[in-house]
Amino acid sequence: MRKVFVMLGALVAVVSMFALVNPDYQSPIVAVVEACAPAVVKVEAVKTVRSPYFDPFIEDFFRRWFGYSPFGGTQRATSIGSGFIFDKAGYILTNEHVVSGASEITVTLLDGSSYKAEYVGGDAELDIAVLKIKAEKEFPTLELGDSDKVKIGEWAIAIGNPLGFQHTVTIGVVSATGRRIPKPDGSGYYTNLIQTDAAINPGNSGGPLLNIHGQVIGINTAIINPQEAVNLGFAIPINTVKRFINQLVQTGKAQKAYLGVRLTTVTDELAKALGLKVNKGALIVQVLENSPADRAGLKDNDVVVKFDGVDVSSDAELVSLIHSHVPGDVVEIVVNRNGKEIKFIVTLGSSSDEEVQSAVAAKEFLGIVVGDITPSDRETYSIPVRVEGVIVRQNRGSLALQTGDVIDQIAVNGQRYAIRSVSDWNEVVGRIKKGDFVAIFAIRKGARLVYSFTY
């Protein structure tokens, strides 16, 4: 018996040597997750996608002569992302690319409850969207922080649904701010992003990036190809999002700022040819008359090197930075003029202030939606004033036209028609009949494109 007591005593002594370190300690991240996770949602968007091998004319041939199509054409697919509730009435923020084109949206909360959600509004360039849960109750919400105060090295916490694993939590730090990366579809750039090493994967898109106080500092949006890099995630600063929330809730659209310039990217060759004193930035090719840029004193051949504290290296980056603001915002623009840096304080405007929008609704033709060209369009897509026509706003059809292309002519059965306005477009496409031979002439970044087909 004595041996047993001796062994027990020895065991107690050994265990006491390995007592818990910091037994009462709890990570502050636990409190953040407990407080914030109930307001984070899983977003499932059902979309109709077109097969990459689908040809509408071949399908029409089979349906006409055989009564069916062997190709399938379109199919339903579900994309999964994340989002978070920012208003007790059930308003949710997420990425536009998560829900764009969805015919049905379902959100699921931490407690497992699911709700149908309606798309309130969004913007593809900004990549933000607002949804609304269809339920008469109050929901948990997240507090929106101040991304302008974010410091490199502070804690960053991501909550989302990577690869469908609901309410996954990852942590890291803010690795950098003011980052710029190209969008995957080549449509432009994400600018002024927050970079974090908190693990972000497909499915995290639209979810919150939180600080240690449980405030949203960004919307998780993009990752770098994991085959190229590890733990490089990017979030849209929440202050950019806050500028547009009220617009999206009230009108469904984001009215973005307008500077009033045509731009091109400075290259080594361009700098040498024009005798510029800098080899990077956005060269002002033209200042549009009576625009905010004109009123502020900007001139042709100025090189914009910094916009509101962010370095500028290309025309597309500058346009993205301009469009991250709303009309009326006051920004500081730094230009290099003949080797001297000059600062300008500019009150950004709206294209609707410069040009009255056409009251004529454009007819959709083959999935192509067009509009009259505005000064903002000329700034965004660098369209010269001499170029007239209608601009492609959206293309849901099979022709390879892109948003921003300018259609200036349409040929039908050998007869060419000039397109200078939406009224011209409506008149021409309204007369096209089955069996007509059609060619659409477009301009993209100065290049002439032609698309011909039998209607």
**pLDDT tens digit string along 347-401?**
999 866 544 444 467 888 988 889 888 877 888 888 887 889 999 988 877 788 8
CA 365, chain centre distance (Å): 26
| Residue 370 identity | V
CATH 2.30.42.10 positions along the chain are: 261-352
Q: Is 127 a catalytic residue?
A: yes
* 295-304 mean pLDDT: 94
* Catalytic residue list contains 51: no
Tell me what pLDDT residue 137 has. Answer: 86
Q: Which of 205, 291, 351, 421 is catalytic?
A: 205
- Is 282 within 8 Å of 317 (Cβ atoms)? yes
Dump pLDDT digits (tens) for 401-442: 888 899 999 999 989 999 998 888 998 999 999 989 999 999
pLDDT band at 74 (very low <50, low <70, confident <90, very high): low
Q: Is residue 82 predicted with pLDDT exceeding 70? A: yes
Long-range pairs for 137-140: beta carbons < 8 A, 24 or more residues apart: 137/90, 138/88, 138/89, 139/39, 139/85, 139/88, 139/89, 139/90, 139/109, 140/38, 140/39, 140/85
In one-letter notation, the amino acid at residue 283 is: L
Q: Which of 79, 82, 123, 127 is catalytic?
A: 127
pLDDT at 17: 54
Rounded Cα distance between 205 and 221, Å, is: 5
Of 82, 97, 302, 376, which one is the catalytic site residue? 97
User: Are the CB atoms for 411 and 438 separated by under 8 Å?
Assistant: yes
Give the chain's mean pLDDT.
Answer: 85
Numbered ranges of CATH 2.30.42.60 in the chain: 355-454
Burial class of 373 by CB neighbour count within 10 A (0 to 12, 13 to 18, 19+): buried
Confidence label for 116 from pLDDT (cuts 50, 70 and 90): very high
Contacts of 234 (CB under 8 A, 6+ apart): 179, 181, 190, 193, 194, 195, 196, 200, 220, 221, 222, 223
Provide φ and ψ at 450, rounded to 5°: -135, 130
Tell me how far CA of residue 107 lies from CA of 81, 134, 161, 368, 397, in angstroms: 10, 10, 12, 31, 29
Contact call for residues 376 and 258 (beta carbons, < 8 A): yes
Q: Is the dihedral of CA 276, 277, 280, 286 positive or negative?
A: negative
User: Could you tell me the two tokens for 158?
Assistant: 């991501």
Task: Decide: residue 29, CB within 10 A, 0-12 exposed, 13-18 middle, 19+ buried.
Answer: middle
Q: How far apart are CA 319 and CA 266, in angstroms?
A: 14
In the predicted structure, residue 166 carries a pLDDT above the cut 60:
yes
CATH class of 35-133: mainly beta
Per-residue pLDDT band at 45 (split at 50, 70, 90): very high
CATH superfamily of 261-352: PDZ domain (2.30.42.10)
Which range, of 188-192, 276-280, 314-318, 443-447, averages the lowest pLDDT? 188-192
Q: Boundaries of CATH 2.40.10.10 in the chain?
A: 35-133, 143-251
Q: Among 3.40.640.10, 2.30.42.60, 3.40.50.2000, 2.60.40.10, what is the CATH number of 355-454?
A: 2.30.42.60
State which amino acid sits at residue 13. A
pLDDT at 7: 60
**Range list of H helices, 75-184:** 96-99
Q: What is the dotted CATH code of the domain comprising 143-251?
A: 2.40.10.10
Residue the block writes with tokens 């379902």:
106
With beta carbons less than 8 A apart as the criterion, state whether 81 and 161 touch. Answer: yes
Confirm if 200 and 189 have CB atoms less than 8 A apart: no
Give the pair of three-digit tokens for residue 362.
Answer: 């454009």
